[in-house]
Amino acid sequence: MGPNEKTDLELPEDTIVGSPLATRKTHTFDHIGSFATVAQYTPGRTRNRILMSIYIVLIKAKINVLLPFGPLAIMLHYLTGKHGWVFFFSLIGIIPLAERLGYATEQLASYTGPTVGGLLNATFGNATEMIISIYALNNGMIRVVQQSLLGSILSNMLLVLGCAFFTGGIVHCNKDQVFNKAAAVVNSGLLLMAVMGLMFPAVLHFTHSELHYGRSELALSRFSSCIMLVAYAGYLFFQLKSQHELYKPIGEEEVANENDSDDEDAPEITQWEAISWLAVLTVWVSILSGYLVDAIQGASESMNMPVAFISVILLPIVGNAAEHASAIMFAMKDKLDITLGVAIGSSTQISMFVIPFCVVVGWIMGRQMDLNFQLFETATLFITVLVVAFMLQEGTANYFKGLMLILCYLIVAASFFVHIDPVASD
């Protein structure tokens, strides 16, 4: 009986502590659930769990070495008032926050299922851009909002996708990488619809054919924004419920590698921890965005750089830094469907969800935010969507296609460096 009693006494301890270590792959969810339940009743475990959560979110990732730049930017704002340095440090400080915001969203999405997870990604996937845009809207900087969102689309479609295709093509240089052509065509169609929504207010303005000068353009923009939001909601339903078979990766990579990817896909933090971190990170991004937006004009003058270049090129590169890294990583692993979901999917989110959302928010705020992005910007977007649509129509990728997309982005960046915004000059 002695040995048996000993076994009975040790079994509960083994179940809580030993089992997750021995069979982490199969019991990750149970481990987190039981840990969270026990933590509610024992203060010591609660403290340990909080410390572990802080370590996972704020310390574990290497990109978190950039976190101190945020508080440093705020200190510089009050101590020196040098807008160039405040802008530069705020820009760097937002990079890890954007990445951690995406991480917390992914962790929460693993508990909620595909439908709610898709909505979460639509809401928080581009949260950094949305927060910066709302702050700029509140300050009446409508052109900064328009140009930074346009820049996010251009950055994702040309720079992020180009770098992913280029690095993936170099790693797999002996073959053409393959992706799901049907899903890429649907996204290209949505991007062309977004171009149409942006083009008509601009054409209406520059042909001076408005029924009521100044008001028709704004009314058309608000109507088109509501239509685009309905279209995006329909796209989410189509993708997640109606035609989800269409979006399965080529060769069923997820099914084939299910056992290998269990450790990567299993959540590291609990559901309530993910919600709490989303709230904390969103507030911190909001605070830092305020200082960033306030410093844009001063940074433009101190660095002798056009506001259009800062808005279209610099701001989006920071907002898309996390997406840029993950798209390249998946391309190197020959998972191009996920790469396209990150790059083209994010462009679709911004053009069909974030831009119309900002128009509606501006409507509520009493700001005249419209879809007239001016002729130069609208033409740039139109050509970019056409170039990327042609690149994706074959369903294959290689390093040369990636190189072409990167070179196209350099041409766009140079164009905005020498471009004078007509609205700003007026």
* pLDDT of the residue at 263: 47
DSSP string spanning 169-238? HHHTTTS-EE--HHHHHHHHHHHHHHHHHHHHHHHHHHTT--SSTTTHHHHHHHHHHHHHHHHHHHHHHI
Residue with tokens 């989006």: 316
- Measured in residues, the chain has a length of 426
The dihedral region occupied by 115, where left means phi > 0, alpha psi between -120 and 50, and beta the remainder, is: alpha
Q: Do residues 7 and 18 make contact, with C-beta atoms less than 8 angstroms apart?
A: no
* pLDDT of the residue at 424: 57
* pLDDT of the residue at 382: 94
- Average pLDDT along the chain, 426 residues, taken 10 residues at a time: 47 41 38 43 76 86 87 89 86 85 79 64 71 86 88 91 92 86 86 92 84 83 94 84 58 45 66 87 84 84 86 81 77 85 86 92 90 90 93 88 94 91 63
Q: Which of 376, 375, 384 is nearest to 350 (CA)?
A: 384
Q: Do residues 337 and 117 make contact, with C-beta atoms less than 8 angstroms apart?
A: no
* pLDDT of the residue at 345: 83
Looking at residue 253, its amino acid is E
Q: Give the helix ranges, DSSP H, for 125-176.
A: 127-138, 142-154, 161-171
CA distances from 420 to 88, 257, 302, 307 (A): 22, 51, 17, 9
* pLDDT of the residue at 41: 45
Q: Do residues 122 and 346 make contact, with C-beta atoms less than 8 angstroms apart?
A: no
* pLDDT of the residue at 7: 44
Residue with tokens 């029924």: 211
Furthest-apart CA atoms within the chain: distance in Å: 95
CA distance from start to end of the chain = 92
CA pseudo-torsion sign 207, 211, 212, 216: negative
In terms of DSSP bridges, do strands 396-397 and 177-178 run parallel, antiparallel, or are they unpaired? antiparallel
**SS3 of 372, please?**
coil
Distance of CA 297 to the CA centre of its chain: 25
Q: Is 103 exposed, middle or buried (CB count within 10 Å of its CB: 0-12, 13-18, 19+)?
A: buried
Question: CB 24: neighbour CB atoms within 10 A?
Answer: 13
Q: Is 426 exposed, middle or buried (CB count within 10 Å of its CB: 0-12, 13-18, 19+)?
A: exposed
**Using the 8-state DSSP alphabet, how is residue 387 labeled?**
H
Retrieve residue 391's tokens. Answer: 């690149």
C-alpha 373/C-alpha 352 separation (Å) is 15
Report the predicted TM-score, pTM, of the whole model to 2 decimal places. Answer: 0.76
C-alpha 381/C-alpha 316 separation (Å) is 15
Q: Which of 81, 61, 62 is nearest to 73 (CA)?
A: 81
C-alpha 388/C-alpha 329 separation (Å) is 20
**SS3 of 111, please?**
helix
